Chain A
C-alpha cells in the first residue's frame, strides 16, 4: 500500500446554491470521519475569484483549503479539472476523496479514479470508518434492489461520490480558522480537447424538486396518464412539486425531469406524499431522507408502506380525488 497523508478531501463545488449545499454536507460528514481517522479535512477549490468559498468551507468544517484560482478555471472544464486534481493527489496523497454525485461530480470522479487506478463507489448514501480504518461506502446495488457496503482495501485514495441530501451540513462558525494552501496553476497542463462553446444557467428554477418542502410523488398505481395528471392539481393546492417513478416517466405520463430515483432526483422534503408507488429501492433510496412520509397503496405490504409514517391502504387515485376536494373546502 502506498504511503498516504492523513487527509480527507472534499471536492468543493460552489457553482449553484444546490451544489454548494452538497459540498457543505460532505464537509460535515468528512469532519465526523476525520475524528475516527485522526485526519484533517481539506476542501479542494478550483475556480476564478473563489475566496468567498474558501472562508465558507473553513466555517463549515474544513481544516485546510487547497485552492487554485486562475482565469482559465472560471468555468468547469472536465479535462483541466481532472488534470489538476490528479496532480494534486500525486503530490499530497490523500487517504479519502469525496465528491458530490452531481452531473459534474459523476463525470469528474470516475475519470480521476481511473487515472489513479483506484476504486470508486457511486452515489453513496452512507459513509463510515470500520475497525480496520477503512472507508465503508454504502451504495445502492444489484439492480437497485439492495444496498451494498463497499471498501477499497488497497488502492488509494478511497473514493466515493455521495448522493445530495444524504448528510446534514453543520452550522457555520466564522470563528474557525484553517490553513489556506494556494496551489499555483501549472503552466504545462495539456490543452482542453473538449471545448465549452456556451454555458448558460438554465432559466428554470434550479432544483425545484430537490428544494421543495412538499413533494407529491406518483407511481403506476395512479392507473392512467389522465388520472396521474390529477396529482398536478393537488400539488398546486399544496404549493408542492410533483415527482414520479420510472415506469411513469417511461409511460410518458410526465416529463423525465420529474423522475425521483437513483438515476433521477434525490429529494429531502418535509412532507412527502407517495401515491400508488410500490417502492423499488431505486426509488426509495432517493426519498429516504424525507422527514414525514404519507404513502397510499392498495397493497399494505408494499415496501413503500413499510417506510411511511402514515400508510393509507386504499386506491391512490380515489384518495387523490378526495384530498383535492377536502383541501378546497378547508383552505380559505
Chain B
C-alpha cells in the first residue's frame, strides 16, 4: 500500500490588528489588547495543504511555537481540516531570533512527524515579516526548499511550483521531501464554520512539547542562543514642519495646486498652473 502523504504546516499566531498600541516607556507592544489570529500567509499555506489533502489524501500536522494561548490557532487549523496539532511552548524560547526559531521548529517536525513529505509555511508573518524562518528551516532540515511559492501541484513524488520572483515567472520542480513557503496570491483560505470550531475545541488532543522534549539546551535558545541582539526599540514617527490645509474639498484642492503647482506639475509632467 502506498504510504499516506504527510504534510506539516508551521503556523504562527499574530495580533489581529495591524496597529497595536505600545507603551512609550517600555517600548513594548500591548499585545494583550488585540485578539490573536492565524497569520494570513500561514492560513494560505494551510489551504494549499488542504487542497493537496483533498486531491491525494494526506495527514496534516500543524505546529506552532508560542505561549499557551497559541493553542487557539491550532484549534482553528484543526477546524479547517488539519488532523494533528503540536504546540511548542516553553518560556525559555521567548526572545529567539529566526536562527533559533528555525532550529526549534525543525526539531519539533522531526519529533512529531519524522516521516514528513512536505513542510508548508506562510511566506512571512504579519507581525515581524522577516520571511527568514522558512528558508532557514530548509537548511536545518537539509531538504530542498523554495520560498515565495504562489501555486503547487503534486505528481507522485514530484512537486511542481509556480511563482513570480523578482519579475521572473518561474516554474520549479523538486522531489519530496521538501519545504515551501506559500504566498497569499493563489489560494483562498476556506471558511471555518462555527460548529467545526466548537468541535475542534473539544475533541482533538494537542501534543505539547518543551525544550526538554526537543533535547535543546537552554543556552542555545531564546535570547541567549540568538546571535542577534536588540539594542533599542523606538517609534519612527517624526513630525515634519508641514503645511496644513482645511476647509471644503474644492478650496483645499485649489489651494494645493496653486501653492505647489511646480512640485506637482513637475512630477506629473503636466502644467497645472491656473491661468484663469
Residues of A bordering B, CB below 8 Å? 15-16, 18-19, 78-79, 102-104, 106-107, 109-111, 113-115, 117-123, 136, 140-155, 193-202, 204, 206-207, 213-214, 238-240, 246-247, 250, 256, 262-263, 269-271, 278-282, 284-285, 288, 292, 294, 300, 303, 305-315, 318-319, 321-323, 325-327, 330-332
Contacts and interface: CB of A to CB of B under 8 A. Distances in A.
B228 A147 contact: no
Given A197-B171, A214-B268, A312-B245, A151 B236 contact: no
B252 A312 contact: yes
Contacts of A256: 184-185
- A107, A115, A199, A323: most-surrounded residue (chain B CB, <10 A): A107
Contacts of B20: 143, 145
B54 interface: no
Interface stretch (B83-91, B108-116, B129-137, B205-213): B129-137
Interface of A is mostly: mixed
Contacts of B267: 213-214, 269-271, 292
Given A140-B129, A141-B128, A201-B168, 13 more contacts: A16-B167, A18-B166, A103-B165, A110-B131, A110-B134, A114-B136, A143-B15, A198-B170, A200-B170, A202-B164, A292-B260, A306-B237, A322-B253
B270 to A, nearest CB: 5
Nearest to A285: B236
A148 B235 CA distance: 9
Contacts, number: 286
B55 interface: no
A78 B267 CA distance: 39
A146 B174 CA distance: 38
A110 to B, nearest CB: 4
A314 B249 contact: yes
A198 B171 contact: yes
Contact of B166 (A103, A151, A195, A312): A103
A151 B231 contact: yes
Interface in B155-171: 160, 164-171
Interface stretch (B65-73, B95-103, B192-200): B95-103
B214 interface: no
Contacts of B98: 110, 120, 122
Contacts of A199: 168-171
B273 A106 contact: no
Nearest to B232: A149
A263 B148 CA distance: 12
A145 to B, nearest CB: 6
A118 B263 CA distance: 46
List 8 A-B pairs, minimum CB-CB distance, nearest first: A119-B228, A119-B227, A122-B130, A322-B249, A110-B132, A318-B249, A155-B227, A114-B139
Nearest to A292: B263
A331 to B, nearest CB: 5
27 contacts: A19-B166, A103-B148, A106-B131, A107-B146, A110-B98, A110-B134, A111-B135, A114-B135, A118-B227, A120-B98, A122-B129, A141-B128, A144-B18, A146-B29, A152-B229, A197-B171, A197-B172, A199-B168, A199-B171, A239-B269, A270-B266, A280-B18, A294-B260, A310-B245, A313-B244, A327-B257, A330-B272
